[in-house]
């Protein structure tokens, strides 16, 4: 048996190959268990800061990056049991060649997986602080939490990038930053739009024209603000679509914060037939006016019911009033109730609604027929 294990294949003994296969199989079999244990360790370390957000949430966030990290460590120990065959004539790791390339790639993947884990931990704390923010009456903290979370994630990513350049590729970071300063103008011009969106986000945070949860209208987009990020603001429309608007446009365009309205306005015309008499019009207008004045949800003193203009096929009455609510569903219910009352009033006064018609008069023997 020992003789068999000491036989060589591709420059490695059978024993080394068995260790290689065994370590990889163990890593694949136990990576989920190990990821759970590592996630539990991380959770216990941060438990006192979690504020009710459980281990399951953290595990769901860390599961994939931890499994990748464990798989990389498994590959390291597995390949450490093997040697390149001498007949391949592969140069030492100190010189440029396959060994050096594989080593650098492995280090990059390790740093990348650790960065991924840190980003997921930041996401976990983002969930924690978001729940805390929901418990407060102010909406400012609802807006700050995702912004700060994204800022920390950007910082971690940039730090990891420079760490790879400085540690793995042995570059002088100070010289690199100085070199970037020389080409800073070109970079700024290339990233002009991104910088404008970034400054737009700062303007939104400082000036606060809206906060998360506000109903706004900007350009042709109307909906509820769900997230304010570095580059863009995300809006959920009434059609449940998710619209992303660059922050530069949010700052430069005319923005109507509908949530800051004190009431909702209703303004429309109704057209009655030309057969309707003047007394009927006066009675209809008076009845509609009384209906609006007696409705508990309509503001008194800021309403108009007037004979407005003469159309091609109807005489129009303008109706204008404010509903004392910010809730769209309540506004629609009140407007529907008023519309039903108007239909009853028009019918009770012996009139009817007009629709587009054309009368043709033919002249025969100097008489109109």
In the numeric block, which tokens belong to residue 95?
A: 């010189």
- DSSP secondary structure of 305-364: EEEEEE-SS-EEEEEEEEES-S-HHHHHHHHHHHHHHHHHHHHHTT--B---------EE
Q: Are 349 and 287 in contact (CB under 8 A)?
A: yes
Q: Are residues 123 and 19 in the same domain?
A: yes
Q: Cα separations (Å) of 110 from 74, 97, 115, 349?
A: 12, 20, 9, 83
Please report whether residue 187 resides in a domain.
no
Residue 158: inside a domain, yes or no? no
Residue 200 sits in the same domain as residue 80: no
Question: Are 295 and 334 spatial neighbours (Cβ–Cβ below 8 Å)?
Answer: yes
For the chain, the first-to-last Cα distance in angstroms comes to: 121
Kindly state whether residue 152 falls inside one of the protein's structural domains. no
Angle ∠(111,105,165) on CA atoms, nearest 5? 60
246 and 278 assigned to the same domain: no
Boundary-marking domain end, from 236, 260, 284: 260
What would the two tokens of residue 164 be?
Answer: 């790879």
- Rounded to a whole number of angstroms, the CA Rg of the chain reads 36
Kindly tell me the sign of the dihedral angle through the C-alpha atoms of 177, 182, 183, 189.
positive
DSSP 88: G
Token match 């109704």: residue? 270
* The Cα angle at residue 249 between residues 245 and 251, in degrees rounded to 5: 115
Kindly state the DSSP code that residue 92 receives in the 8-state scheme.
P
Please tell me the number of Cα atoms within 13 Å of 126 on its side-chain side.
18
* Same domain flag for 107 and 35: yes
**pLDDT (0 to 100) of residue 353:** 93
Question: Do 7 and 79 belong together in one domain?
Answer: yes
In 10 A of CB 271, how many CB atoms?
Answer: 19
For the question of whether the overall pTM of this predicted structure is more than 0.75, the answer is no
For residue 227, the model assigns a pLDDT of 85
Residue 272's pLDDT is what?
A: 94
Query: What's the pLDDT score for residue 307?
Result: 93
Examine the fold and report which residue of 233, 260, 287 is the final residue of a domain before the chain moves on: 260
Which residues contact residue 330 at a Cβ distance below 8 angstroms, ignoring those fewer than 6 apart? 297, 323
Report pLDDT for 321: 94
Give the pLDDT of residue 131. 79
Residues of the chain with pLDDT under 70: 1-7, 9-11, 51-52, 84-95, 137-141, 173-192, 359, 361, 363-369
8 burial via Cβ count (<10 Å: 0-12, 13-18, 19+): exposed
Domain holding 236: CATH number? 2.30.30.60
To which residue do tokens 């404008």 refer?
196
Residues 255, 268 share a domain: no
252 plus 274 within the same structural domain: no
CATH of the domain at 301: 3.30.70.100
Domain count within the chain: 3
Distance from C-alpha of 24 to C-alpha of 304, rounded to nearest angstrom: 81
Please report how the helices 140-163 and 98-134 are oriented relative to each other, as an axis angle in degrees rounded to 10: 170
Q: Is residue 185 part of a domain?
A: no
- Orientation of helix 278-294 relative to helix 328-348, angle to 10°: 150
Range of the domain at 213: 192-260
Residues 327 and 249 in one domain: no
How many angstroms separate the CA atoms of 219 and 11, rounded? 70
Q: What is the pLDDT of residue 19?
A: 82
In the DSSP assignment, the letter for residue 296 is T
Whether residues 131 and 14 share a domain: the answer is: yes
Answer whether residue 335 is part of any domain. Answer: yes
Answer yes or no: do 234 and 325 share one domain: no
Residue 230 lies inside a defined structural domain of this protein: yes
Instruction: Give the pLDDT of residue 209.
Output: 86
Same domain, 272 and 207: no
Same domain? For 84 and 16 the reply is yes
Asked, for residue 167, whether it belongs to a domain, the answer is: no
Pick from 65, 64, 45: nearest CA to 55: 45
Instruction: Choose the final residue of a domain: 243, 260, 277.
Output: 260
- Tell whether 368 is covered by a domain: no
């Amino acid at each position: 048996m020992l003789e068999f294990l000491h036989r060589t294949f591709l420059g490695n003994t059978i024993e080394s190959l068995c260790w290689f296969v065994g370590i990889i199989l163990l890593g694949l079999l136990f990576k989920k268990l190990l990821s759970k244990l590592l996630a539990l360790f991380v959770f216990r370390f941060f438990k006192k800061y979690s504020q009710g957000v459980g281990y399951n949430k953290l595990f769901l966030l860390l599961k994939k990056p931890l499994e990748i990290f464990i798989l990389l460590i498994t590959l390291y120990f597995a390949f450490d049991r093997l040697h390149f065959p001498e007949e391949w004539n592969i140069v030492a790791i100190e010189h440029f060649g396959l060994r050096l390339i594989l080593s650098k790639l492995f280090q990059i993947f390790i740093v990348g997986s650790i960065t991924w884990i840190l980003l997921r931990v930041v996401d976990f704390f983002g969930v924690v602080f978001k729940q805390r923010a929901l418990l407060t009456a102010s909406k400012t903290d609802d807006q700050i939490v995702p912004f700060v979370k994204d800022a920390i994630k950007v910082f971690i990513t940039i730090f990891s990038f420079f760490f790879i350049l400085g540690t793995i590729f042995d570059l002088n970071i100070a010289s690199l930053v100085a070199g970037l300063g020389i080409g800073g103008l070109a970079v700024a011009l290339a990233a002009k739009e991104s910088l404008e969106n970034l400054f737009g986000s700062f303007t939104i945070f400082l000036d606060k024209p809206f906060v998360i949860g506000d109903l706004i209208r900007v350009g042709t987009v109307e909906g509820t603000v769900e997230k304010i990020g570095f580059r863009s603001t995300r809006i959920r429309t009434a059609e449940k679509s998710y619209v992303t608007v660059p922050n530069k446009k949010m700052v430069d365009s005319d923005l109507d914060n509908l949530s800051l309205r004190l009431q909702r306005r209703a303004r429309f015309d109704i057209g009655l037939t030309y057969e309707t008499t003047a007394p009927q019009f006066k009675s209809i207008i008076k009845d509609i006016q009384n209906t609006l004045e007696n409705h508990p949800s309509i503001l008194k003193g800021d309403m108009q019911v007037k004979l407005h203009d003469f159309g091609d096929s109807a005489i129009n009455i303008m109706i204008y009033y404010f509903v004392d609510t910010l809730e769209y569903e309540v506004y629609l219910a009140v407007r529907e109730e008023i519309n039903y009352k108007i239909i009853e009033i028009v019918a009770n006064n012996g009139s009817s609604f007009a629709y587009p018609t054309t009368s043709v008069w033919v002249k025969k023997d100097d008489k109109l027929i």
